[in-house]
Amino acid sequence: MNIEFGPVTLPDENARAGALRRHATLLSPPRSLGRLERLGAWLAACQGRTPPRPLRHLRIVVFAADHGITAAGVSLGGSGTTRDLLGALETGAAPLNVLADVAGAGVRVLDVGTAGGAGPDHVRSGSGSIDEQDALTAEETEAAVRAGMRAADAEVDEGADVLVAAELGAGVTTPASALVAALTDTEPVAVVGRGSGIDDTMWMHKAAAVRDALRRCRPVTGEPLALLRTAGGADLAAMTGFLAQAAVRRTPVVLDGLPSTAAALLAEELAPGARSWWLAAHRAAEPAQVVALEHLDLEPVLELGIRLGAGTGAATVLPMLTSAARLLTDVAERPALPTDADVT
């Protein structure tokens, strides 16, 4: 596999500092807006200007794929679940549709690996079962990463202010957990969560699957693309390419739950410095995500107990970002204090 990303330039720290200074002049007590001030400053740094431009073009990109490991009893979702979820999303009946509408965000779905799927970005009908076989071939891995890169380029070229990386696929938290464990040298029991709401027996199956996948990952731990081939999937590979390329294109991305955060770990390896362009939307109900966020030194904005994934947590944060930008542009400044000359 031969994929190279361009250099990642860091957000503008002068613009960040300028935004914080501007907040100190607004008609509100200093630091009274808390995290909203920091969010506005992050947007200013990403845009390289103070105050930041109002957010007009928010885009959520959903990468859909099936995972062969579901046959091992690691998820409540099985064959056909991903297709049902896609159908709900396409008809506007999914939770993400509602939250995206509230946020004023557009949604794009890329089918990169569903069973029986098709299309220009589709690289495989379901991944291999990672406990005993590779998720993808080397060629499929490269194709999925490049699909994610193309998606990022397309959204940036169309004027996206902020992007969201999301996933849709039964069983995805199992390979995501395996990738986090491999990249952070963490034991399986410390990263395996309840995913779709599994019981104790299914949790043990999931922990065993992650353990077996980690054994297969050991020879390639230092090779991000090989890790995706061994224990990832088409959706995770595409999200990795998407996140890295968005950072190269200087476009901020909101991370959702565990899958996008696992992809972020790999993207940071492939494009060092990319983490500066990402915002962690929420702390999901998955221990692997907590491990990954600590490794990336990213602080989640919210803690809502969401375990649905599919971009729902990130979509919830988008209105906060819109508000944070407008606070810097629309709030009046405090009147200047009178000087001695004014008094006389």
CA pair distance 287, 314, nearest whole angstrom: 18
Q: What is the pLDDT of residues 245-265, one digit of tens each?
A: 999 999 999 999 999 999 999
Mean pLDDT on 279-302 = 93
- Domains of the chain plus CATH, in order, are 10-53 (1.10.1610.10), 54-319 (3.40.50.10210)
For residue 304, name the pLDDT band (cuts at 50, 70, 90).
confident
Closest CA to 186 of 219, 217, 230, 223: 217
Structure tokens at 41: 């400053």
Q: Could you tell me the pTM of the whole model?
A: 0.94
Please give the residue that has the higher pLDDT: either 334 or 286: 286
> Are 175 and 209 in contact, with CB atoms under 8 Å apart?
no
Q: Supply the pLDDT for residue 305.
A: 81
Lowest mean pLDDT among 22-36, 144-158, 263-277, 317-331: 22-36
CA pair distance 149, 140, nearest whole angstrom: 14
Q: Supply the pLDDT for residue 42.
A: 98
Mean residue pLDDT across the chain: 92
Q: Supply the pLDDT for residue 330.
A: 92
Statement: residue 79 has pLDDT above 70 = no
Statement: residue 332 has pLDDT above 90 = no
Q: Supply the pLDDT for residue 195.
A: 73
CA pair distance 207, 178, nearest whole angstrom: 9
CA pair distance 137, 175, nearest whole angstrom: 15
Q: Supply the pLDDT for residue 101.
A: 97
CA pair distance 84, 66, nearest whole angstrom: 12
For residue 81, name the pLDDT band (cuts at 50, 70, 90).
confident
Mean pLDDT on 300-328 = 92
Lowest mean pLDDT among 69-78, 99-108, 312-321: 69-78
For residue 334, name the pLDDT band (cuts at 50, 70, 90).
confident
Rounded to whole angstroms, what are the CA distances from 213 to 27, 82, 128, 217?
55, 22, 11, 6
Q: Supply the pLDDT for residue 142.
A: 97
Share of the chain above pLDDT 70, in %: 96
What is the residue-wise DSSP string for 23-84? HTTBSS-TTTTTHHHHHHHHHHHHHTSSSPPP---EEEEEEEE-BGGGGGS--S--TTHHHH
Structure tokens at 159: 């004027």
Q: What is the DSSP letter of 301?
A: S
Q: What is the DSSP letter of 6?
A: P
Q: Supply the pLDDT for residue 338.
A: 59
Crossing angle for the helix pair 13-23 and 35-47, nearest 10 degrees? 140
> Residue written as tokens 């979820």?
85
Q: Supply the pLDDT for residue 62.
A: 97
